[in-house]
Amino acid sequence: MYIRGFEENAELTTLISVPERGRFGNAKYRGNYAGEVLIRLIRFLQANGIQRPYIYDPMVGGGTSRDVAEALGLSYIVDDIHNGFDVVNDDFHDTGFDLVMLHYPYWKMIDYAADLPPELQKQDMSRMEWREFIEAVSHVNYKAAAHGRFVAVLVGDIAVKGGIKSIQREMAWPGMPVRHIIKVQHNAESFRKTYNGKFIPIVTEHLLLFRTDYQPGGEMWVLVPAQYKKIDIDQYVTWKTAVKKVIRQLDEITPTTVCEGIRKLFPVKLRKTNTPEATVRRTLQELEADGYLRRHVRGIYVKAS
Ligand SMILES: C[S@@+](CC[C@H](N)C(=O)[O-])C[C@H]1O[C@@H](n2cnc3c(N)ncnc32)[C@H](O)[C@@H]1O
Give the number of other CB atoms < 10 A from CB of residue 237: 14
Q: How far apart are alpha carbons 203 and 187 in whole angstroms?
A: 9
State the pLDDT at residue 192.
67
Residue 208 backbone phi and psi in degrees, to 5:
-110, 130
Give the gyration radius of the chain's Cα atoms. Answer: 28
| 90 CB neighbour count, 10 Å cutoff | 14
| Cα(42)–Cα(53) distance, integer angstroms | 7
Give the residue ranges of the chain where pLDDT is below 70: 189-192, 214-216, 226
Encode 222-285 in three state secondary structure: EECCCCCCCCCHHHHCCHHHHHHHHHCCCCCECHHHHHHHHHHHCHHHHCCCCCHHHHHHHHHH
Q: What is the CATH number of domain 15-223?
A: 3.40.50
Neighbours of 188 (CB within 10 A): 18
> For ligand 1, atom 26, which residue shows the shortest CA distance?
61
Q: Which atom of ligand 1 is nearest to the CA of 31?
A: 1
CA dist 88 and 104 (Å) reads 11
Instruction: Say if residues 184 and 10 touch (Cβ distance below 8 Å).
Output: no
Q: What is the pLDDT of residue 191?
A: 64
Predicted local confidence at residue 107, as pLDDT: 92
Centroid of ligand 1 to alpha carbon of 88 (angstroms): 12
Index of the ligand 1 atom closest to the CA of residue 86 = 20
* Ligand 1 atom at minimum distance from 61 CA: 27
According to DSSP, the residues that pair with 294 across neighbouring strands are 302
Residue 146, judged by CB atoms within 10 A of its CB (0-12, 13-18, 19+), counts as middle
What are the φ and ψ backbone dihedral angles of 159, each rounded to 5 degrees? -75, 130
C-alpha 176 – ligand 1 centre gap (Å): 25
pLDDT value of position 190:
65
CA 262 to chain centre: 36
Query: What is the bridge-based pairing of β-strands 148-155 and 76-78?
Result: unpaired
In whole angstroms, give the CA distance from residue 121 to residue 115: 8
Q: Tell me, in angstroms, the distance from the centre of ligand 1 to residue 116's CA.
A: 12
Going from the Cα of 59 to the center of ligand 1, the distance in angstroms, rounded, reads 4
The residues that bridge with 290 in the sheet, in sequence order, are: none
Ligand 1 is surrounded, with C-beta below 6 A, by 25, 29, 31-33, 58-62, 64, 80-82, 85-88, 103, 105, 112, 123-126
User: Taking the domains of the chain in order of start, what are their residue ranges?
Assistant: 15-223, 233-303
> Where do the H-state alpha helices sit in the chain?
35-47, 64-71, 118-121, 130-147, 167-170, 189-192, 233-236, 239-247, 255-265, 267-270, 276-289
pTM over 0.75: yes
Using a 10 angstrom Cβ sphere, with 0-12 exposed, 13-18 middle and 19 or more buried, the burial of residue 152 is buried
Cβ contact 16:37 at 8 Å: yes
Choosing among 1.10.10, 3.40.190, 1.20.1740, 2.70.170, the CATH entry for 233-303 is 1.10.10
**Cβ proximity of 18 and 34 under 8 Å:** yes
